[in-house]
Amino acid sequence: MKNITVFTIKGTTLLLLVLLFASGCLTYNLRESYLRSKYGVAKGVFLKDISMGRKLEEEVTGLVEALCRESLIRPRNAYLDPLSGEVLPEQPGKKIDVQKTVELVMGSRPRTTVYPVIIDLDPEITADLLEGISQRKGSYATGFGNGGRGENIRIAALALHNYLLLPGEVFSFNRATGPRVAERGYKLAPIIVGGTIVPGYGGGVCQVSTTLYNAVLNSKLQVVQRFPHSRPVGYVPRGRDATVSEHLDFKFRNNTDGLILIKTSAYGYRLVVEIWG
């Protein structure tokens, strides 16, 4: 009898637990149903082909944000073809207005289909702005020889041609020209290291940074960072050079209210850098 009594107590306890759990689930379901009925989206509402009926606002927001990320079209600025100089027009972008779309869904009548509210994204730079760059603010020219050094100068100069800076933007020579390595066409040529001339890839590129530096000075732009060579160079007056290396950079800021465009040419044995605005 004792064993049977124990079994009966355990069975009763289990039954009570089941009843309590069921009661809790029922209470939760009733509360959930009430909240969705009172505060959720009306029945039969679709956002495009997505069923939104009875979803709460935070759920709608999550779905709309995900849809926004999937459908985003970023705007593309107008730009200059680096070789031809042709102005390639801008392209506007589009994105979903999350807040207005959520409001639209939450306020929809039953059994209706609504579509996301779309807003246009305007590019920062338009073709009109680029075509308005017509004034040469300053320039500088230096002469150079042939061989690997001359080839390095031409490669670096081409990397700067039609380089555009927004108002307030800081130009970095190393970032604009990229690493000076053999894989990018650079040749071995003399470079100055610690006051000694040694061979190195990209030798001669400092003449491009120096020529640009002088064009920047003539254009009254703000020099942010500039380092002199450890010994004088022959292509500019003393004190007007700007060396660059893996660890040294030449930087200047577009401290004007408009766009700044760098133009270069390295035909024959004459390097010309112009600043337009």
Q: Is the pLDDT of residue 237 over 60?
A: yes
Q: Tell whether 141 and 128 lie within a shared domain.
A: no
**Which ranges constitute the DSSP H helices of 136-203?**
147-160, 173-177
pLDDT, tens digit, for every residue of 105-127? 999 999 999 999 999 999 988 99
Confidence of residue 97 (pLDDT cuts 50, 70, 90): very high
Q: Tell whether 60 and 194 lie within a shared domain.
A: no
Count how many domains the chain has.
2
The model carries a pTM of 0.70
Integer Cα distance of 234 and 149 in angstroms: 14
Q: Which secondary-structure segment (H or E) carries 273? A: strand 270-276
Q: Is the pLDDT of residue 5 over 50?
A: no
pLDDT of residue 6: 44
CA 109 to chain centre: 41
Confidence of residue 4 (pLDDT cuts 50, 70, 90): very low
Q: Tell whether 166 and 213 lie within a shared domain.
A: yes
Among 132, 166, 201, the domain boundary falls at 132
Among 115, 132, 149, the domain boundary falls at 132
pLDDT, tens digit, for every residue of 182-207? 888 888 777 776 666 666 677 889 99
CB neighbours of residue 242 within 10 Å:
28
Residue type at position 236: V
Integer Cα distance of 40 and 128 in angstroms: 48
Q: Tell whether 167 and 92 lie within a shared domain.
A: no
Query: How many helices and strands (H and E) does the chain possess?
Result: 7, 16
Task: Tell me how far apart the 2 most distant CA atoms of the chain are, in Å.
Answer: 114
Q: Tell whether 59 and 192 lie within a shared domain.
A: no
Determine contact, residues 254/158, Cβ cutoff 8 Å.
no
pLDDT, tens digit, for every residue of 39-96? 889 999 999 999 999 999 999 999 999 999 999 999 999 988 877 778 889 999 999 9
Q: Which domain holds residue 85?
A: 42-132
Q: Tell whether 101 and 193 lie within a shared domain.
A: no
- Residues whose CB falls within 8 Å of the CB of residue 226, separated by 6 or more in sequence, listed in order: 213, 242, 250, 251
Residue 27, domain member (yes or no): no
Q: Is 119 helix (H, G, I), strand (E, B) or coil?
A: strand
